[in-house]
Structure formats: C-alpha cells, structure tokens
Amino acid sequence: MVRLCKGHCIRAEITDEDEHGRTVAKCFLPDGRDLSEELVKQGLAIDWPKYSGGKYKHLEVAGIRKKLWLADARQKGHMHVWEKFDAQKKAKEQCDEK
C-alpha cells in the first residue's frame, strides 16, 4: 500500500458510516484507479460485500482469506483456535480415508 500511496494525494468519497460511527469511503489514486481494487488484486485486502456489494470478490488472490485471518489470529494471540481447527480437520481426513 505504501508503494501505491506514498507521496500522493488520495481522493476519498464518503459513502456510509458503520455501526461504530466510523466513516466508510471509496478511495481513489491520483490516476483514478480504485484503491480498494488495487489492494484486493495485490492480496493486501479482501472483498467486504457489506460495503462493496461483492464488487471485488473476483479479484481476490487464491487462499488469501485464510492467510489474512491467520495473520490476524497470530497478532491477537488466538493461534490456539487455528491449531484446534487444523487438528480436527486432520482427524476427519484420517477417518474419511478408512
């Protein structure tokens, strides 16, 4: 994102306010490109249909949702949840093989 935005004026068009009172906006690079679209294409963000209407879903990098959620869990100290999920998944796969 730094490479896309550093040193540039980014235009923001306010579109909404979320349930926490935060401003929601569409952001555009100086050349008119949609910043959200660029971030999704680069794997730095995922489509959030609540605000985009699913506009960027087809641009998501394969497997990016799991990678971003894992990164978030790691930062918040919740890796035990993922480790339990992986263990249950492996156990199910082993049962399915029998």
Please state the domain extents for the chain: 1-61, 62-98
Q: Which residues contact 35 (CB under 8 A, 6 or more apart)?
A: 4, 5, 10, 27, 28, 29
**With 80 as the cut, is the pLDDT of residue 49 above it?**
yes
Q: What is the mean pLDDT of residues 45-59?
A: 92
Q: Which residues contact 29 (CB under 8 A, 6 or more apart)?
A: 4, 5, 8, 10, 35, 38
Q: Which residues contact 40 (CB under 8 A, 6 or more apart)?
A: 46, 47, 56, 59, 60, 61
Q: How confident is the model at residue 82 (pLDDT cuts 50, 70, 90)?
A: low
